């Protein structure tokens, strides 16, 4: 019965796949596989996301988002493992610290008794400190503590004004006008004005900046021309949207929308060449000493070792910032990080070795908090691994591999308390934009299985059937040597990610599939995955705001977060 259900799911997914595939060639071809290729045509998906973004009918919008998720999951390129929760350890006596469901951690209102500094580990060397160019959770945490946007989140996960004092919205929901707080300044003491907000948003949306999150500005008029409709109107910051946006204030609190100083950015060595072309838009934030606008400013940075942030006296809420210094240890070695915490050398750590979790559950300094996100395996649809296959065969191979993974075993042996098997990419508790939960509040939509696309348990028979559809031969339940499957799995260097990879390696080996594991430094890993220099890799996405479009628009062809390389 289980096999039948999963095969039924695959059949339904295949129908969705056909719906978004490229039109067939009119002329006959000798090799249909070569003509079609393994990567899906992504035009319909791109158009569908644009339609969702422009929709003012929220019921119709939800139906379109279900359609988009169907298309995405039909490719098999996204293999969900579990829905996220977050763990960290924090010294008894630390107060005022808080984290959001989006993984961002705020230290600016923290206190630690009479201490004037806090010693922290969030991750290893950050990939980018320019808020407009960052796409990692640790980078977002650093940005949130050193820059400001128009809005931010408080300890109750509520949106509250930051640089903004107030705002007004036109009756049609299209024109937002913000009044800034008086006396705002950058960390060098210079004035922070409406013109700085205009510059920062236009810069982040400009294709020349090459921001991964530039697509988040596509709801603003003029995005398609490279000149978004934001302006200084009578000393106020005005934005004109193409369609009403229920989560617009969430965007105003997101790092890509943070406020930066033009002079500091454009005077940096390596920013542009002699012709005026931008070489590296983030060159200004590659060493300590750059101008910021938030609670802290980066004073020193020993690459791959440490960073020290010090209090910014010009921060608009500086009176409520009690800690003078945030001292960061840069490391991805969770054993060394945990040892440093136990030795008293760190006060806050964002990871622990997986084999310590069970014993830490009763430790009052160990925290498990909810997050809105999904841990998943990602396939590069342009990988040579799928060479010579049709779109459907490549999808069947990916779906077959996904069906072999024992997700519950991963959670039981590597994960932590409260993790839930993920059977779809959109997280279980994500809202639908209409006051309900996306997965359960649409009577007109039914997921193939339960609230997702995959059975919770592995199904070897169904997996083999799918792999046979992709052209592989099996004999007595084992992969034939005549049609081998061998690939490298890319991950970053932490024990938990490597342990998950080893679990999957074991699942694949059970039917003769050879998977090797390659682990590399965090910042290099991000660059390699983004560039498409992988076949299969670990991935994870923590929502930037509570709406399914955030999980869907990242896969458009022009998105800098489209690691699956759809349409590329």
Task: Please give the order of strands across the beta sheet that includes 175-180.
Answer: 164-169, 175-180, 236-240, 230-233
What is the model's pLDDT at position 18?
Answer: 37
What is the model's pLDDT at position 276?
Answer: 86
What values do phi and psi take at 323, rounded to 5?
A: -80, 130
How open is the CA angle 241-243-248, to the nearest 5 degrees? 65
Contacts of 524 (CB under 8 A, 6+ apart): none
Residue 188 vs residues 261, 293, 296, 307: alpha-carbon distances, Å: 10, 9, 12, 19
Which mean pLDDT values do the consecutive 10-residue runs of the chain (568 residues) have? 43 41 37 63 97 89 96 98 94 97 96 98 94 95 98 95 98 97 98 98 96 96 95 98 94 98 96 90 97 98 98 98 98 95 98 91 94 96 96 98 97 84 94 88 85 93 97 97 98 93 98 98 94 97 95 96 97
| Pairing mode, strands 175-180 and 236-240 | antiparallel
What is the model's pLDDT at position 37?
Answer: 82
Question: Within its chain, how far is the Cα of 136 from the centroid?
Answer: 7
How open is the CA angle 290-292-298, to the nearest 5 degrees? 55
Structure tokens at 66: 């279900």
What is the model's pLDDT at position 36?
Answer: 66
Q: Is 328 within 8 Å of 350 (Cβ atoms)?
A: no
Provide the β-strand partners of residue 378: 78, 537
Structure tokens at 253: 């609190």
What is the model's pLDDT at position 29?
Answer: 36
């Amino acid at each position: 019965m289980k096999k039948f259900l999963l095969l039924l799911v695959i059949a339904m997914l295949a129908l969705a796949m056909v719906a978004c595939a490229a039109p067939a060639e009119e002329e006959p071809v000798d090799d249909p596989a070569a003509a079609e290729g393994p990567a899906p045509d992504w035009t319909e998906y791109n158009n569908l996301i644009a339609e969702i973004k422009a929709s003012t009918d929220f019921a119709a919008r939800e139906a379109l988002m279900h359609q988009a998720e169907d298309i995405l999951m039909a490719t098999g390129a996204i293999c969900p493992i579990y829905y996220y929760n977050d763990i960290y350890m924090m010294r008894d006596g630390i107060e005022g610290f808080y984290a959001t469901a989006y993984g961002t951690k705020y230290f600016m209102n923290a206190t630690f008794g009479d201490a004037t500094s806090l010693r922290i580990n969030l991750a290893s060397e950050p990939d980018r400190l320019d808020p407009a160019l960052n796409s990692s959770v640790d980078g977002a945490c650093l940005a949130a503590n050193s820059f400001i946007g128009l809005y931010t989140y408080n300890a109750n996960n509520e949106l509250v004004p930051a640089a903004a004092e107030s705002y007004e919205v036109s009756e049609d929901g299209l024109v937002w006008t913000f009044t800034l707080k008086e006396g705002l300044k950058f960390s060098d003491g210079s004035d922070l004005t409406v013109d700085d907000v205009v510059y920062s948003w236009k810069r982040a949306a400009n294709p020349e900046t090459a921001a991964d999150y530039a697509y988040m500005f596509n709801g603003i008029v003029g995005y398609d021309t490279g000149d978004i409709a934001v302006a200084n109107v009578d000393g106020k910051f005005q934005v004109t949207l193409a369609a009403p946006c229920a989560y617009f204030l969430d965007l105003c609190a997101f790092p890509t929308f943070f406020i930066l100083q033009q002079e500091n950015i454009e005077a940096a060595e390596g920013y542009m060449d002699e012709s005026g072309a931008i070489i590296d838009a983030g060159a200004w934030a590659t060493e300590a000493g750059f101008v910021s606008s938030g609670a802290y400013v980066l004073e020193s940075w020993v690459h791959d070792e440490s960073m020290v942030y010090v209090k910014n006296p010009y921060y608009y809420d500086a009176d409520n910032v009690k800690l003078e210094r945030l001292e960061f240890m840069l490391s991805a070695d969770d054993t060394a990080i945990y040892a440093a915490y136990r030795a008293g050398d760190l006060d806050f750590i964002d990871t622990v070795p997986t084999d310590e979790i069970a014993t830490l559950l009763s430790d009052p300094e160990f925290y498990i908090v909810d997050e809105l996100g999904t841990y998943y395996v990602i396939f590069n649809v342009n990988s040579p691994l799928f060479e010579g296959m049709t779109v459907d065969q490549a999808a069947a191979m990916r779906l077959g591999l996904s069906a072999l993974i024992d997700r519950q075993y991963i959670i039981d042996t590597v994960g932590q308390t409260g993790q839930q098997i993920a059977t779809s990419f959109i997280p279980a508790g994500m809202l639908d934009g209409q006051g309900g939960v996306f997965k359960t509040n649409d009577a007109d939509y039914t997921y193939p299985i339960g609230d997702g696309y995959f059975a919770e348990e592995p199904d070897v028979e169904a997996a083999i059937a799918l792999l046979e559809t992709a052209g592989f031969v099996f004999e007595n339940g084992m992969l034939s040597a005549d049609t081998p499957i061998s690939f490298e799995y890319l991950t970053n260097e932490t024990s938990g990610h490597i342990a998950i990879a080893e679990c999957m390696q074991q699942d694949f080996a059970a039917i003769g599939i050879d998977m090797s594991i390659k682990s590399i430094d965090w910042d290099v890993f991000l660059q390699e995955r983004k560039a498409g220099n992988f076949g299969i890799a670990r991935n994870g996405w923590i929502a930037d705001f509570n709406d399914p479009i955030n999980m869907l628009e990242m896969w458009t062809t022009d998105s800098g977060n489209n690691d699956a390389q759809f349409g590329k």
